[in-house]
Chains A and B, each alone.
Chain A
Amino acid sequence: MKKTLADQSIDLSRRRFIVSSTVAGGGLALGAHVPFGIGSAEAAEAAGTEVNLWVVIRPDDTCVIRIARAEMGQGTRTGLAQLVAEELECDWNKVKTESVTVARNHASKRAWGDMSTAGSRGIRMSQDYVRRAGAAARTMLLQAAADQWQVPVAEVSVANGIITHRASKRTTSYGKVAAAASKLTAPDHKSLTLKDPKTWKVAGKPLKRLDTADKLTGKQLYAIDLRLPGMLHAAIKACPVFGGKLASFDESKIKGMRGVRGVVRVNDSTVAVVADMWWRAKTALDALPIVWDEGEHAKVTSASIAAHLKTGLTSDDAFADTNFGDASKAIAGAAKKVEAVYSVPFASHSTMEPMNCTVKLTADKAELWIPTQNAEASMAALSTSSGLPLEQCEVHHLDLGGGFGRRIGNQDVVRQGVAIAKQFPGVPVKLVWSREEDQTHDFYRPIAQCRLEAGVDDGGNLVGLHMRVSGQSINAFANPAAIKDGKDVRQLQGLWQKPGDAQIGYTVPNMRIEYAMRNTHVPVGPWRGVNTNQNAIFLECFMDEAAKLAGKDPLEFRRALMSKHPKHLGVLNATADKAGWGKPLAPGRYRGIAQFMGYASYTAAVAEVSVSSKGEVKVHRMVLGTDCGNFVNPATIAAQVEGSVAYGFDSLLTEISVQNGRVVEQNFDSYHIARLVHLPKVETVIAPTYDFWGGVGEPTICVAVPAVLNAIFAATGKPVRSLPLKHQGLTLI
């Protein structure tokens, strides 16, 4: 399936290219009123020479770098541009970016590679081929200059897009030689030597993002902002009980409401109202009498789900992914033992831009505008639900108002949008979910419990550890084929023995780590950090309980188990050092520490908290460290680290709970997302070892919460085993 740049046909890279892609990222000011399709003035301004698929150079030396991955705030657009620019040696101040449309990628046999942006892969899985693309373009541009001057290419050099022939003191610029360069044969990308990251001048630097300006003036066009001539607006409601059905609705009751154009039975569980304004559609939908057939799950509650998960803590249907020695025996025979049960609730994605898309269908064309983490999956859903072949489908993927895993695989909103638009041929229909719909029809972070037992010997050494995770499986819901022999190892992410991605950082002589699948009727999916979130809370909080049992400092206790995991240990040490672990603290303040691994990056965190006599928890300072191998933009990494703390704080502040089979927390008055006041001062430690490429967007999220919980444990002497904090009479202030 995957095609590398090196495989691509030279023909493509020779074409002179006029920007006609509909969602250009950089440089093109798309006003909120401007329907897609760029006017001739912009097209002329955007004209440039395609040196290769990734690099277009304009006569004024502007370098347009094409980006295939989605930008949802994580900074990949800027990071990938830095990597290309580093090898290209262009002038960073003249760099612009544009998005590759899925149609172009499809037509080019996926020459731009995978467009899916999930699993913190945006940089680490693209870095090699985008750097090679930049290097190939540079090679061709230098060759073109050398040809023009009739000198050996070895005698010309480039800096900031200015090519120099030292001997004759002649100079030219990328803009001047681009046309000639584009006619040359591209070098074999695999043969190119890439720069040592330690010598980088553009990549590796804390450069500002390329996509900030329009986000400060309201100009940035999100899919939800789209306005097309004749557009209609749809509001939607699915059965509030998952798995329930739409029995009937009484359309006559809303007939005659202003602006209403129709009621659509979207599928067997969903109804939509279409009107000339979204507010009118929503008002009519709220007035529409709907009868639901709530089905078999209408009595499910959080308590019944918890009881169901509890059975998995002791059942005999679990599988052990790790099993060294004899954990049960070692613990039974240990000098001291501790046992605990932890629980972590469902959480919602709550992207700030609610789920939405716009669909326009004609007899021979399906067009979709959508914020998506996977434009190819959106295209596939558009094609299957419209019944039109891919060639007649067009997806305009716009930069997202947040993704966090909600907008990857499940293209529910596309199928809905197409079903509605089918009733209005030729008319663009924008479907926008209300926040209530968004909160109650998410694919939630899975709920989980964990029973842990540990035994320590007289010397305070951990001799046995037993973890039994019981909880819902994402794969069972979304991708059952990924479960081999009934063993869903994905639910043990971060606890694996296998190195390189999400490996446990401890060596314990007797260790057993098991998973018992306990599914519910609540849809689940990847949520920033996915299963590292709950697994890090389970393991790292319990490590502090075990350290206390052993009478050891939590950092020393961990270090003793980490000699075979130097990278885990390295980032833990670096983080503890920056946090001043062991140094005196202001009175009433306590520290907590945690480390974990996910998405190929090693992470650690230290939190400083105080807890009042009324149980008010204040987090004052956090230091989070990551070894992501090589790093592309420290400022972006810091933004992602700070953001991951805020996102992770859901586990402290709030939960998705279930009553009568449906989600209780319908909006932000009951689903409490962290506000500015809740966030401590966060410091970011980047501790690179330069011999691999790890992710950035997700890895640090999982250590934030256990570090805070361990600090609370240090402050109160009471472990926090059930989240959110309110279950323990604690409040984050």
Chain B
Amino acid sequence: MVELNINGRSHKLDVEPETPLLWVLRDVVGLTGTKYGCGVAQCGSCSVHINGEVMRSCVLPASFAAGKRVVTIEGLSRDGSHPVQKAWAQHDVPQCGYCQSGQIMAAAALLRKKPKPTDADIEEAMTNICRCGTYQRIRAAIHTAAGSRKDGGSVIHIVDAAVPSSSVAAADNRDNAGA
């Protein structure tokens, strides 16, 4: 039996204390937003916050989290309104989306520590794998969430192939309604 505080709620769970927190969250509590990617603390898909620190739940025994505050992607905000989630939406970061819970949890933890991270800070903190390769937009979205930069993200030139010099730069901050 393990007692856990997850997203502000306490749960008494009949699991072996050494069960990785990831599988307790997914298969017992039913919080499937936290993903399994590698099981060996390499990819970060399983990232959660424990007492405010980002940790990889696939290698943490459930007992480690007992008596601590566990926050998962489902508890980051009630309605997707965390600044990181909003910036992610603005930059249309996800492709398949599978890694994104972990990316968002890692970014939120980074911003709590460093409200205005530099590119170097982002490179150091954001070691989660995204197999779809959304890294450029992740970097831009973190700067946006920090309020330090609104541009960045994808850089798109639409050109006439026959006349290479006539180009238009369509940057980010795309607007659905304006199309």
Contact = CB atoms under 8 A, between A and B. Distances in A.
A501 interface: no
B164 A673 contact: no
Contact of B135 (A72, A578, A638, A642): A642
The dominant DSSP class at the B interface is loop
Nearest to B20: A279
A209 B134 CA distance: 14
A336 B151 CA distance: 50
Interface string A477-516: 0000000000000000000000000000000000000000
Contacts of B95: 73-75, 639, 643
A61 to B, nearest CB: 15
Given A277-B28, A646-B135, A668-B43, A215 B100 contact: yes
A165 interface: no
Most chain B CB within a 10 A radius of its CB, from A92, A202, A684: A684
The dominant DSSP class at the A interface is loop
Contacts of B128: 675-676
A314 B162 CA distance: 42
A29 to B, nearest CB: 12
A220 B97 contact: yes
B31 to A, nearest CB: 7
B35 A352 contact: yes
Contacts of B1: none
A362 interface: no
A224 interface: yes
B170 A402 contact: no
Contacts of A668: 37-38, 40, 42-43, 129
A258 interface: yes
B131 A686 contact: no
Given A93-B177, A352-B37, A352-B43, A227 B32 contact: yes
Nearest to B22: A279
B96 A218 contact: no
A687 B100 contact: no
A577 B164 contact: yes
A72 B162 CA distance: 34
A32 B32 CA distance: 7
Given A642-B135, A647-B133, A216 B96 contact: no
A269 B156 CA distance: 49
Nearest to A349: B131
A644 interface: yes
Q: Number of contact residues on B: which range applies?
A: 35 or more
B30 interface: yes
Given A207-B179, A352-B96, A676 B157 contact: no
A400 B131 CA distance: 12
Given A402-B96, A687-B161, A639 B19 contact: no
A151 to B, nearest CB: 30
A661 interface: no
A531 B11 CA distance: 51
Most chain A CB within a 10 A radius of its CB, from B36, B37, B95, B167: B95
Interface stretch (A52-60, A417-425, A541-549, A566-574): A566-574
B161 A669 contact: no
B133 to A, nearest CB: 3
A639 B137 contact: yes
Contacts of A684: 154-157
A212 interface: yes
A417 B156 CA distance: 43
A328 interface: no
Interface string A220-242: 11101101000001000000000
8 contacts: A33-B30, A218-B33, A219-B33, A567-B161, A570-B161, A646-B131, A667-B39, A674-B133
Given A208-B176, A216-B94, A219-B33, 8 more contacts: A93-B176, A217-B76, A402-B132, A432-B36, A573-B164, A574-B161, A685-B167, A686-B157
